[in-house]
Structures are given as C-alpha cells and as structure tokens.
C-alpha cells in the first residue's frame, strides 16, 4: 500500500495554512491569518488550526496568552513524502520519467540541466 503524502485529505485552505507554517516554521493564529490569501475570519483560522492539530498535522505550545503553532512534520520530510506520492501517482514510480518531464516540459535551462545531472551523478547508486 502506497503511503499518502502528509497533506493528503486536507482541503485547500488547510493546505494554505500548512504552507504558511512550513514557511514560517512557527506562528500564532494571527500571523497565519495575516499571511493567508483572501483569509477567512480570524476565528475560522483558529478553528482550522485546532482541526489540523487533531489530524496530527500541527502542534502547539502556549507562550503567554497565545498559542504558537508549528508543523508536526519537518518541511523536508513532508516534501520527500509528497514527491514520492507524485512519483508513484503520475509517473508510475519512474524517476527517469519525472526527470524527463522536469527537464523538457518545464523548459529547464541548459545550466539547470547540467546542475541536475551533476546532482544525480554525485548521488551515486544507493
């Protein structure tokens, strides 16, 4: 059974909140609210943070009178899980097809392709 990415099952607004938290590392509900595009009410953001905590996506600690939220999973782990999900969902597990799409379809420049090739070469066999 394939593992779902950490944000699987989250709605668009929940993913936007997670994006803010990954970017800031830690934030109050007010900070999250301020950085959301077309934000809902402040109380809605607080409720959504509470729901995300219930889903195991975020955790909080109290600082004075306010809660400070942070992702329960570090950004690198979430990024790798999402990439694995993308690789298996859209590329049948083929790293070659993924890299081909990145280099051709995304119009990667020659220097970017060279850098990618060097990264792949330096990674070596597992």
Q: Report CA torsion sign: 16, 22, 23, 29.
A: positive
Residue with tokens 């280099």: 103
Residue 64 has which token pair? 């004075």
pLDDT at site 1: 44
> DSSP secondary-structure letter at 58?
E
Q: Domain extents for the chain? A: 12-71, 75-123
Average pLDDT for runs of 10 along the chain of length 126: 56 91 95 96 97 93 96 80 83 87 80 85 75
Topology, domain 12-71: Arc Repressor Mutant, subunit A (1.10.10)
> Which pTM value belongs to this model?
0.65
61: enclosing H helix or E strand: strand 58-63
pLDDT at site 109: 84
């Amino acid at each position: 059974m394939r593992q779902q990415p950490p944000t699987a099952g989250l709605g668009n607004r929940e993913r936007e909140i997670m994006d803010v938290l990954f970017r800031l590392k830690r934030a109050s509900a007010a900070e999250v609210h301020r950085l959301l595009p077309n934000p809902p009410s402040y109380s809605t953001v607080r409720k959504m943070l509470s729901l995300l905590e219930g889903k195991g996506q975020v955790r909080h600690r109290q600082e004075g009178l306010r809660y400070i939220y942070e992702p329960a999973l570090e950004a690198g782990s979430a990024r790798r899980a999402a990439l694995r999900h993308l690789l298996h969902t859209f590329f049948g597990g083929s790293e070659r097809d993924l890299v081909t799409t990145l280099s051709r379809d995304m119009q990667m420049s020659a220097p970017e392709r060279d850098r990618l090739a060097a990264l792949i070469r330096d990674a070596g066999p597992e």
